[in-house]
């Protein structure tokens, strides 16, 4: 369908042959103030409004960031505003039918400006039904596979456009440094370098050339610091020095801008006393002034309102809108008062209309570039030829296989032999539940996901699996079911407990992990530890499989069980991938993208800490993590030798090559993730004990060796000096290469910058 009837000549902004900038200027010249301000406003979809207004009160909305409606207004009001051209964007539109319907309403408006539909497509377009559900970002990061990040983003873009959705609120490039925070699972972990590379490839995968029918707008978020809140809770205040901001938190965002990301979302939190949504230094000075960002900035969920009603730096809503726009905000997510108050601010002369035009140009630029004026609809007859297609399903399975981390394998319990065990007990809250899909997933059809129990039965049909269902809710486990599992464990040859957290959004209040689901501890919730201990007390070998979005302090299990698998949130084929790892059809290769602490008392536990962090170690308990960043086992072994530098001395603007010989010293093919770390031995300001600066995935046959080379460029040595100037300082640097960030896994050499 076309937005312009065929019998009318195509003129001005509707002419696809004109340069985009000419189309924008022509259209802006025709727009009223109300239409311009409407382009800067986003609403939730009408079906979302119908559903939530029927079951929620206005008071219940205040602290809810998943559901929304507009008290005093109905979906009919929203439909009218759409036809009047006063809404620029929708989110929480979850079906092709609704997207096309709202777009048809927009085509009834005076200027026929299309809607841009945004959605939280965090790991595939999983927040909408009938789409491919890939592993969440933390599992993807554990693969250290940047090519896979690009592929998943590219496939997600295709599925989104097949549903008439154009804008994903991803990648989340926050650097996760607090395990209490519920959103660790939607990040790429704790290391700025890894987060940067995964984020860049995601941006490129989503956006393509940002001019085709298979491209979508990426959104780098949340700017900035929300992943290190002072008490671990989402949106809590963040106090971070400029040095830490520039060395840890800014790099993934700056790289995302350099990669072409054309939208950015600001963070819920205040940063050093100033709400991010009214922070001119962030949005204008740094983002546009230093990094030359050309796209548009969007608020997070009602966070401009929170400048008034939460942070209390604006006396009323109108003042909050004023502060945010003046600081650099372009689009409001979401609400009914924006249009009225912003138009008043312009008419009163407080905000010049030219400032509004700046934001509208940025938004219209994306709509033109994505071809929405020419193709405002998606074809319902073609949509399922793209969504859930075999190619995308295969990617989801491969990504799940590559993101599963083998944490412990004492005595070589794994892989299991299909001939050795006749009867296996399977139990735990995540053994047979769609929770395996992970956070940001809508309920999917039963045939579109495999649970761990499904996978075990498919992979080893000759084995009798005795399943004791513990329910899906860790907070309300039945003690009788725990006892049943304990008793049946005695009769089994081997036991598998599938534990972890609960993330599904359709039971928002029952979740233990995910957005706005933060914890004051990182223990297993409910009776899960009791279940593990009682099953293990059977004396039979017991394997623990974890399904979760944050690091969990499973210290008892780590000390007492022979084998532990960290599967994170592995997506639609997670059950198959886990079972293939258990039985050895897949050799695990993933490495931790985040440190796993022993307990919440170790917060902050990161590998790239400063030298004085453990000058005085903890008493009673160890100061070491349960499992370090970069750690992960394989069913084969790898040897490192002959770490060699091509130069021992370089000038500050020179590079050097470092090489190491890696050998598969085991008996089966395996993939090793070779990691390179650097430490500045002595510096004018304190520097981390080590920082990841490169890595490589290498697949080796038994006995095969490969020489792995890395180039150390000046940017890998640079840091901010006392006056916040970025320099490469003269002196000694230590280069470390190995299988994890743990010192015992690293070979080391010294070179000097002269």
- Residues involved in catalysis: 300
Give 28-66 as a DSSP string: HHH--HHHHHHHTEEEE-HHHHHHHHTT--HHHHTT-SS
Alpha-carbon gap, residue 264 to 412, rounded angstroms: 47
In the numeric block, which tokens belong to residue 376? 């405002």
CA 687/CA 677 separation, integer angstroms: 13
Q: Are strands 263-266 and 649-650 parallel, antiparallel or unpaired?
A: unpaired
Q: Which of 84, 130, 38 is nearest to 445 (CA)?
A: 130
Smallest CA-to-CA distance from 672 within 712, 711, 702 is with 702
The 8-class DSSP code of residue 744 comes to G
**C-alpha distances out from residue 374 to 102, 212, 213, 276, 489, Å:** 16, 11, 11, 36, 63
**In this structure, what are the phi and psi dihedrals at residue 89, rounded to the nearest 5 degrees?**
-155, 155
**Closest among 407, 442, 399, 394 to 198, alpha carbons compared:** 399
- Taking every pair of Cα atoms in the chain, the longest distance, rounded to a whole number of angstroms, is 82
Token digits for 475? 């907070």
Concatenated DSSP letters for 485-547? HHHHHTTSSEEEEEEE----GGGGGG-SSSTT---S--SPPTTHHHHHHHHHTTSS-EEEEEE
Identify the residue whose tokens are 């311009």. 36
Helix intervals (H) in 645-723: none
Under 8 Å between Cβ of 586 and 577:
yes
DSSP track, 302-337: THHHHHHHTS--SSSHHHHHHHHHHHT--BEES-SS
SS (H, E, C) 90-157: EECCCCHHHHHHHHHHHCCCCCCCCCEEEECCCCCCCCCCCCCCCCCHHHHHHCCCHHHHHHHHHHHH
CB hemisphere CA count around 622 (13 angstroms): 7
Burial class, 354, CB count within 10 angstroms (exposed 0-12 / middle 13-18 / buried 19+) = exposed
Handedness of CA 551, 557, 562, 567 (dihedral sign): negative
For residue 32, give Cα distances in angstroms to 182, 641, 659, 704: 43, 69, 63, 69
Query: Does residue 423 contact residue 110 with C-beta atoms inside 8 Å?
Result: no
Q: Which residue matches tokens 């969990």? A: 552
Beta strands at 542-547 and 494-500: parallel, antiparallel or unpaired: parallel
Tokens read off for 68? 């929304």
User: Token digits for 170?
Assistant: 């991803």
Distance separating alpha carbons of residues 673 and 145, to the nearest angstrom: 9
* Among candidate residues 189, 152, 122, 139, the one with its CA nearest the CA of residue 400: 139
Whether omega before 171 lies within 30 degrees of 0, making that bond cis, reads yes
* Residue 728 burial (CB count, 10 A): 20
Q: How many CA atoms lie within 13 A of 643 on its CB side?
A: 18
Angle at 77 between CA 76 and CA 81, to 5 degrees: 120
Q: What angle do CA 675, 255, 203 make, to 5 degrees?
A: 95
Q: Is 539 left (phi over 0), alpha (psi -120 to 50) or beta?
A: left
């Amino acid at each position: 369908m076309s937005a312009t009837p065929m019998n009318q000549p195509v003129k001005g902004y509707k002419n696809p042959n004109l340069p985009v900038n000419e189309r924008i200027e022509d259209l802006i010249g025709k727009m009223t103030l109300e239409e311009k301000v409407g382009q800067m406003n986003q609403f939730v979809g009408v079906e979302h409004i119908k559903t939530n207004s029927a079951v929620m009160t206005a008071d219940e909305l205040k602290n809810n960031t998943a559901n929304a409606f507009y008290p005093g207004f109905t979906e009919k009001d929203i439909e009218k505003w759409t036809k009047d051209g006063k809404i620029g964007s929708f989110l929480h539109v979850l079906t092709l039918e609704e997207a096309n319907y709202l777009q048809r309403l927009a085509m009834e408006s005076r200027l026929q400006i299309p809607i841009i539909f945004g959605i939280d497509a965090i790991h595939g377009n999983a927040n909408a039904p009938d789409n491919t559900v890939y592993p969440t970002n933390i599992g993807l990061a554990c693969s250290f596979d940047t090519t896979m990040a690009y592929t998943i983003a590219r496939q997600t873009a295709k599925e989104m456009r097949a549903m008439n959705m154009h804008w994903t609120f991803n990648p989340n490039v926050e650097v996760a440094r607090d395990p209490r925070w519920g959103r660790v699972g939607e990040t790429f972990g704790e290391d700025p370098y890894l987060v940067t590379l995964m984020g860049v490839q995601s941006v490129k995968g989503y956006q393509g050339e940002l001019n085709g029918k298979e491209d979508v707008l990426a959104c780098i978020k949340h700017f900035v610091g929300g992943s290190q809140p002072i008490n671990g809770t989402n949106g809590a205040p963040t106090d971070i020095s400029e040095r830490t901001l520039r060395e840890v938190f800014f790099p993934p965002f700056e790289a995302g801008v350099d990669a072409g990301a054309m939208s950015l979302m600001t963070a819920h939190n205040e940063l050093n006393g100033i709400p991010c949504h009214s922070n001119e230094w962030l949005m204008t000075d740094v983002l546009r002034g230093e990094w030359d960002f050309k796209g548009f900035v969007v608020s997070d969920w009602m966070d401009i309102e929170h400048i008034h009603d939460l942070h209390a730096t604006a006396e009323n809503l109108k003042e909050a809108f004023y502060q945010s726009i003046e600081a650099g905000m372009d689009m409001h997510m979401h609400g009914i008062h924006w249009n009225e108050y912003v138009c008043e601010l312009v008419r009163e002369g407080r905000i010049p209309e030219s400032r509004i035009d700046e934001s509208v140009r940025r938004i219209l630029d994306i709509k033109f570039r994505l071809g929405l004026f020419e193709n405002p609809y998606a074809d319902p007859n073609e949509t399922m030829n793209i969504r859930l297609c075999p190619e995308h399903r295969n990617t989801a399975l491969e990504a799940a296989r590559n993101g599963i981390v083998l944490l412990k394998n004492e005595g070589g319990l794994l892989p299991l032999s299909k001939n050795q065990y006749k009867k296996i007990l399977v139990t735990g809250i995540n053994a047979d539940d769609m929770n395996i899909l992970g956070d940001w997933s809508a309920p999917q059809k039963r045939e579109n996901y495999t649970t761990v129990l499904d996978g075990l039965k498919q992979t080893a049909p000759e084995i009798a699996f005795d399943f004791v269902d513990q329910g899906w809710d860790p907070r309300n486990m039945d003690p009788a079911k725990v006892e049943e599992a304990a008793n049946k464990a005695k009769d089994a040859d081997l036991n598998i407990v599938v534990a972890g957290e609960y993330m599904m959004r359709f039971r928002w209040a029952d979740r233990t992990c995910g957005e706005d689901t933060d914890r004051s501890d990182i223990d297993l919730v409910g009776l899960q530890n009791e279940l593990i201990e009682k099953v293990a007390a059977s004396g039979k070998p017991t394997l623990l499989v974890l399904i979760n979005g944050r690091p969990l302090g499973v210290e008892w299990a780590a000390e007492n069980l022979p084998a532990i698998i960290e599967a994170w949130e592995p997506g639609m084929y997670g059950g198959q991938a886990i079972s293939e790892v258990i039985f050895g059809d897949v050799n695990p290769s993933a490495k931790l993208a985040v440190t796993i602490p022993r307990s919440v008392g170790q917060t902050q536990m990161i590998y790239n800490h400063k030298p004085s962090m453990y000058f005085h170690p903890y008493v009673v308990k160890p100061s070491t993590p349960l499992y370090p960043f970069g750690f992960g086992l394989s069913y084969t072994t790898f040897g490192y030798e002959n770490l060699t530098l091509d130069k021992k001395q370089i000038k500050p603007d020179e590079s050097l090559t470092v090489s190491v010989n890696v050998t598969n010293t085991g008996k089966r093919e395996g993939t090793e993730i070779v990691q390179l770390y650097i430490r500045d031995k002595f510096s004018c300001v304190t520097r981390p004990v080590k920082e990841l600066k490169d890595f490589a995935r290498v697949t080796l046959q038994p006995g095969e060796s490969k020489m792995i080379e890395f180039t150390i460029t000046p940017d890998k040595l640079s840091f901010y000096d006392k006056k916040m100037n970025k320099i490469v300082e003269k002196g000694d640097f230590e280069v470390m290469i190995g299988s994890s960030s743990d010192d015992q896994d690293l070979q080391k050499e010294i070179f000097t910058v002269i």
